Amino acid sequence: GDGKGRIDFEHVSFSYEGGHGESVLKDITFSCLPGETVGIIGSTGSGKSSLVGLIPRFYDATKGTVRVDGVDVREVDPKLLREKMAIVPQKTVLFTGTVKENIRWGKDEATDEEMELAARMAQAHDFIERTPDGYQARVGQGGINFSGGQKQRLSIARALVRKPEILILDDSTSAVDVATETKIKEALREYAQGLTCLLIAQRITSVMDADKIVVLDQGELVGIGTHESLLKDCRVYQEIFQS
Ligand code: GTP
């Protein structure tokens, strides 16, 4: 289709500069179609964060091509490229200010309604409303007055308020309980149709209902498919499932 938010990895290899030349990603080829949710799973150090970092051009592929909406990312103005996407990093970054300012960060023109919808999708609205000052509550330095899972949900709300074509969640629900994580995914399906979502996770439960799951092992793509097909065919996926 001509929907936006397609991502293609074509024979992508990558090594960090000064990384002793060892390949962190080795000949990776797969596509995320517009509107798909693609899970990325693999043990620590398997290359998951490095892989998604190539999409906004935090780094460039050493070999091969990454395309967004069919265009080689190296041929796009990085600013325009990054406007299409929102990335929730592993370590959430909240600043001293109100909850509202934190959610609207980078998208100051967002209305209160847009902000609240983003918070609802991220399953943050209810706990925000339970605090005495609601959206005007102060977030302490580094978000100290919120739990790890609450901070992650505020970060997801911040990403959603930007209405991205592509949403990248880098282990962003690791501190969120499985039931709440499921609600976030359901809300995304309902309200953010057409959004392409890349979901890095350690837990199988986080990715098992994705349209497809990419399994990385030491920089190699060792499996791609649905939960059911990977359980049948992919040894690394079976091992993660059993651990
Ligand atoms: P977890 O986040 O721990 O689950 O790992 P991951 O699967 O996301 O792997 P990641 O892409 O973070 O790392 C892949 C490999 O690249 C590992 O061997 C890291 O040590 C290495 N690496 C990650 N970041 C850097 C960096 O900034 N510089 C260098 N030289 N190596 C890095």
CATH code of 32's domain: 3.40.50.300
Is there a single domain that holds both residue 9 and residue 69? yes
53 lines ligand 1 (CB under 6 A): no
Do both 43 and 158 map to the same domain? no
Summarised one tens digit per residue, pLDDT across range 139-174 is 876 666 888 999 999 999 999 999 999 999 999 998
Distance of CA 65 from the midpoint of ligand 1 (Å): 20
Nearest CA to ligand 1 atom 12: 49
Same domain for 173 and 75: yes
Is pLDDT of 1 > 50? no
The verdict on 6 and 64 lying in the same domain is yes
Is the CB of 50 inside a 6 Å radius of any atom of ligand 1? yes
Residues 46 and 98 in one domain: no
Domain span holding position 40: 1-84+164-243
Alpha-carbon distance of 223 to 179, in angstroms, equals: 27
Per-position b or e across 208-243, b if 16+ CB within 10 A of its CB:
bbbebbbbbbbbbbbbbbebeebeeebebbeebeee
45 lines ligand 1 (CB under 6 A): yes
Give tens-digit pLDDT for 73-100: 999 999 999 999 999 998 888 888 999 9
Q: What is the pLDDT of residues 206-235, one digit of tens each?
A: 999 999 999 999 999 999 999 999 999 999
Q: Which of 89, 158, 154 is nearest to 128 (CA)?
A: 154
Residue 168 and residue 227: Cα distance in Å, rounded?
A: 20
113 and 55 belong to one structural domain: no
